[in-house]
């Protein structure tokens, strides 16, 4: 039966490392607070005018090279980001132009931290149906240019990092494939994690007063988001495993979204997975939202943590609220 498999992965991180101590020079925070509450020790922040697509290009090229494909082999580009280079058109169009493949389908995915999980599922559907053969799925973010790096924004600013990850999905008839995905959203509480302005629902969309109030920066009710995450992640993991006749014991490696090390440790305890089978790299990169899973998955593969035949589980949670999981037979 036709399905899709990950034929190549790539990732790219800006060189500029920003430590917790450096942030403590900009705002009232400390290495101790950030490490204890989140696990984050450092993150990468771009320098100068660099957009999500600038980070996506090398990640995409690496994924194509790993897959042994050219950009001209692609049928579609899916670009998951909450930090598009410009308001419109979408970053998938910018990336398509940079890869030099005019004419192929492009789509931006606005599902925040769950964007890459949605992207793999969308790509899989197009490939499974026979409509397409090769689809590039990218998650890329530049957060640093949009954070409030004063004490007012410290609860959010210390969490986020810049980066990009990419996967090339290709058609297969073999056993190595994306087995299943579970996708969810609940917009009821969208305001607990959002970036409001510039906003089409406001006239004008952005004013100097709104900027003084910080309404052009992300706002988060951290504890509420945390509670949703530790409820929804175990739920969706159980959903995707049980409907495929699998249990946590069958999972060789889980790659969760990297929002907070404490969330991932709590989820691991709840579902009863050995922490050695959970891949975390938030310590080095912070939360790169849509990019976090492809970056972590690629690092795990490069470190030899995944071998052919393994069952790999990806799970994400984020603004929207959105959450989801992919189950992969490697
Ligand atoms: O990927 C998107 C999804 N996002 C998430 O999953 C984030 C989920 N939430 C979290 O990870 C956590 O809620 C945070 C890491 C954001 C915050 O941790 P917390 O343990 O929930 O802290 P808190 O919000 O309850 O704040 C505790 C204290 C407060 O001070 P008071 O009121 O106790 O005096 C905050 O003002 O910590 C203070 N605080 C800080 N202190 C030093 C908040 N941010 C900072 C900071 N440095 N950066």
The two domains 3-174 and 179-329 share their CATH topology (first three levels equal): yes
Name residues contacting ligand 1 (CB within 6 A): 29, 33, 37-38, 113, 154-155, 158, 222-223, 225-226, 229, 259-260, 263, 287, 289, 318
> Residue whose CA is closest, atom 8 of ligand 1?
226
Give the model's pLDDT for residue 243: 97
pLDDT band at 217 (very low <50, low <70, confident <90, very high): very high
Give the model's pLDDT for residue 4: 98
Pocket test for ligand 1, best of 25, 38, 226, 322 (most atoms within 8 A of CB): 226
Give the model's pLDDT for residue 172: 98
String of b and e for 66-100 (b: at least 16 CB within 10 Å)? bbebebebbbbbbbbbbbbbeeeebbbbbbbebbe
Nearest one of 227, 232, 202, 4 to 114, comparing CA atoms:
232
3-state SS record for 181-211? EEEEECHHHHHHEECCCCCCCCCCCCCHHHH
> What percentage of the chain exceeds 70 in pLDDT?
100
User: Considering the chain, what is the average pLDDT of its residues?
Assistant: 98
Q: Rounded CA gap, 284 and 58, in Å?
A: 20
Give the model's pLDDT for residue 100: 98
pLDDT in tens, 295-309: 999 999 999 999 999
Give the model's pLDDT for residue 69: 98
pTM of the predicted protein model: 0.97
Across the range 276-287, mean pLDDT stands at 98
Across the range 58-70, mean pLDDT stands at 98
> Residue whose CA is closest, atom 1 of ligand 1?
259
Q: Rounded CA gap, 163 and 143, in Å?
A: 9
Nearest one of 1, 50, 17 to 286, comparing CA atoms:
17
> Residue whose CA is closest, atom 36 of ligand 1?
155
Pocket test for ligand 1, best of 20, 37, 287, 324 (most atoms within 8 A of CB): 37
Q: Rounded CA gap, 241 and 183, in Å?
A: 13
Pick the CATH number of 3-174 from 3.40.640.10, 3.40.630.30, 3.40.47.10, 3.30.565.10: 3.40.47.10
What is the Å distance from ligand 1's center to 155 Cα?
5
Nearest one of 116, 77, 111, 78 to 326, comparing CA atoms:
116
Across the range 252-276, mean pLDDT stands at 97
pLDDT band at 149 (very low <50, low <70, confident <90, very high): very high
pLDDT band at 291 (very low <50, low <70, confident <90, very high): very high
Pocket test for ligand 1, best of 155, 163, 194, 256 (most atoms within 8 A of CB): 155
> What percentage of the chain exceeds 90 in pLDDT?
100
User: What residues are labeled active site?
Assistant: 113, 257, 287
Ligand 1 atom with least separation from CA of 222 = 13
> Residue whose CA is closest, atom 28 of ligand 1?
155
> Residue whose CA is closest, atom 18 of ligand 1?
37
What is the Å distance from ligand 1's center to 153 Cα?
11
Residue 249's contacts (CB-CB under 8 Å, 6 or more residues apart) are: none
What is the Å distance from ligand 1's center to 8 Cα?
36
Q: Rounded CA gap, 56 and 327, in Å?
A: 24
Instruction: Give the Å distances, CA to CA, from 151 to 17, 24, 25.
Output: 20, 9, 10
Can you give the residue ranges of every domain in the chain? 3-174, 179-329
Query: What's the CATH superfamily of 179-329?
Result: Thiolase/Chalcone synthase (3.40.47.10)
């Amino acid at each position: 039966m036709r399905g899709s498999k990950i034929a190549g992965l790539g990732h790219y991180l800006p060189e500029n490392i920003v430590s917790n101590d450096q942030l403590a020079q900009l705002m009232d925070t400390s290495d101790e607070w950030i490490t204890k509450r989140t696990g984050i020790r450092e993150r990468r922040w771009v320098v100068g005018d660099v957009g999500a697509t600038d980070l996506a290009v090398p990640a995409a090229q690496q994924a194509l090279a790993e897959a042994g494909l050219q950009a001209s082999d692609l049928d579609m580009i899916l670009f998951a980001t909450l930090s598009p280079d410009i308001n419109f058109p979408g970053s998938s169009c910018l990336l398509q132009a940079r890869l030099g493949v005019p004419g192929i389908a492009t789509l931006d995915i606005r599902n925040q931290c769950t964007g890459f999980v949605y992207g793999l599922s969308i790509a899989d559907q197009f490939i499974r149906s026979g409509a397409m053969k090769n689809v590039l799925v990218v998650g890329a973010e530049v957060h640093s240019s949009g954070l409030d790096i004063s004490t007012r924004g410290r609860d959010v600013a210390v969490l986020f990092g810049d980066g990009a990850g990419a996967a090339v999905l290709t058609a297969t008839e073999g056993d190595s494939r994306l087995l299943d995905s579970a996708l969810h959203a609940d917009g009821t509480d969208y305001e607990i994690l959002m970036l409001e302005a510039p906003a089409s629902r406001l006239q004008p969309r952005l004013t100097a007063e709104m900027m003084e109030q910080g309404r052009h920066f992300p706002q988060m009710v951290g504890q509420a988001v945390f509670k949703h995450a530790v409820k929804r992640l175990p739920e969706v993991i159980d959903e995707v495993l049980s409907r495929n006749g699998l249990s946590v014991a069958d999972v060789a490696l889980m790659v969760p979204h990297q929002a907070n090390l404490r969330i991932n440790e709590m989820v691991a305890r709840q579902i009863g997975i050995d922490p050695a089978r959970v891949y975390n790299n938030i310590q080095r990169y912070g939360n790169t939202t849509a990019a976090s899973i492809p970056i972590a998955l690629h690092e795990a593969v490069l470190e030899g943590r995944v071998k052919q035949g393994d069952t790999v589980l990806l799970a994400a949670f984020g603004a929207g609220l959105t959450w989801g999981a992919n189950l992969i037979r490697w």
